């Protein structure tokens, strides 16, 4: 944490090398958070991630070191992404096309296929349910924190999470059924 703080002080003083170093250390996590919240539109996620980093660097002088830099930057990323998504929805007044499949996947890896299937299922959730699901189950926010971030009640957050989980269970049931039938065959008594 002391190393981050010294790096931050150099960045605040205008050291571009320090800024690049902060970005290279923390960009993978921040960009992943933005991509998860955006839900599949990689161009939109890249644009918002760029705005997030601009916001992080503008706010850098206000960083007091009370939490780790990664935690502080994560909070900015979530807030800025949610604000950008609200703004986009207001302007467009239509939902983003959830059927677009632009993820690149290593076809040889079952884990990649599983991750893609889960990601596709999450994109089929309504924007509110997807956002609450990602914030709660993926990012670890409490319902109270989500309510504050989204301007809803904790009960509304719980309701959205319940709906998201029900739909995800339905959309991903074939994975569980396939898993059980595979393991049943492995443990079944041999035919005589």
16 phi/psi in degrees, rounded to 5: -65, -30
Residues of the chain with CATH 1.10.1740.10: 1-95
Per-residue pLDDT tens digits for 155-186 = 989 988 998 888 888 888 877 665 544 444 44
CATH number listed for the domain at residues 1-95? 1.10.1740.10
Q: What is the pLDDT of residue 54?
A: 92
The answer to whether the CB of 59 falls within 8 A of the CB of 76 is yes
Residues of the chain with CATH 1.10.10.10: 107-186
Fold annotation for 107-186: Arc Repressor Mutant, subunit A (1.10.10)
Q: What is the pLDDT of residue 189?
A: 45
Enter the pTM of the model: 0.56
Q: What is the pLDDT of residue 149?
A: 84
Token readout for 104 is: 């690149």
Show the low-confidence residues of the chain (pLDDT under 50): 94-108, 180-192
């Amino acid at each position: 944490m002391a190393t981050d703080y010294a790096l931050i002080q150099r960045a605040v003083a205008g050291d571009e090398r320090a800024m690049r170093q902060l970005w290279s250390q923390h960009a993978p996590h921040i960009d992943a958070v933005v991509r998860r919240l955006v839900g599949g539109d990689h161009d939109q996620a890249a644009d918002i991630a760029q705005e997030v980093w601009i916001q992080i660097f503008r706010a850098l002088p206000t960083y007091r070191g009370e939490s780790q830099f990664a935690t502080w930057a994560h909070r900015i990323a979530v807030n800025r992404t949610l604000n950008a998504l609200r703004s986009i929805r207001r302007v467009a007044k239509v939902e983003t096309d959830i059927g677009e499949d632009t993820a690149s996947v290593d076809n040889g890896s079952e884990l990649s296929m599983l991750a893609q299937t889960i990601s596709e299922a999450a994109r089929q959730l309504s924007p509110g349910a997807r956002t609450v699901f990602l914030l709660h189950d993926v990012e670890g926010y409490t319902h109270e924190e989500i309510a504050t971030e989204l301007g809803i009640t904790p009960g509304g957050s719980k309701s959205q999470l319940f709906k998201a989980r029900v739909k995800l269970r339905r959309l991903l049931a074939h994975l569980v059924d396939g898993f059980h039938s595979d393991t049943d065959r492995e443990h079944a008594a041999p035919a005589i």
